[in-house]
Amino acid sequence: MCLAVPGRILDIEGDDPLLRSGRVRFGGIVKTVNLSCVPEARVDDFVLVHVGMALSRIDEEEARQVFRYLEQMGDLDELVTAHINSEEGA
């Protein structure tokens, strides 16, 4: 299943629009993601992220709603477990 997960931008690095990245918080997980598809995104904005790429900006309520759906489906636990496993293998 392909899934875009909402997260909040904590900080942004880079001036080149194609190389711009930011640290994004997904609940308790923080990952660096590519922000080239959302040049308008700023710190504290919420973005939908798929495989390390922020695809679009969304408002905070929509982000919370997606997290609720993920929790109801049990997919949030799978995402956290996958993250933990990938960190252990690194």
pLDDT of residue 43: 98
φ/ψ of residue 76, rounded to 5: -65, -40
Q: Over the stretch 6-65, which tens digit does the pLDDT of each residue have? A: 999 999 999 898 999 999 998 788 999 999 999 999 999 999 999 999 999 999 999 988
Fold of 5-89: SH3 type barrels. (2.30.30)
pLDDT of residue 87: 46
pLDDT of residue 79: 58
Where in the chain are the domains? 5-89
- Burial zone of 53 (CB within 10 Å; 0-12 exposed, 13-18 middle, 19+ buried): middle
Q: Over the stretch 73-90, which tens digit does the pLDDT of each residue have? A: 776 665 554 443 444 454
pLDDT of residue 58: 95
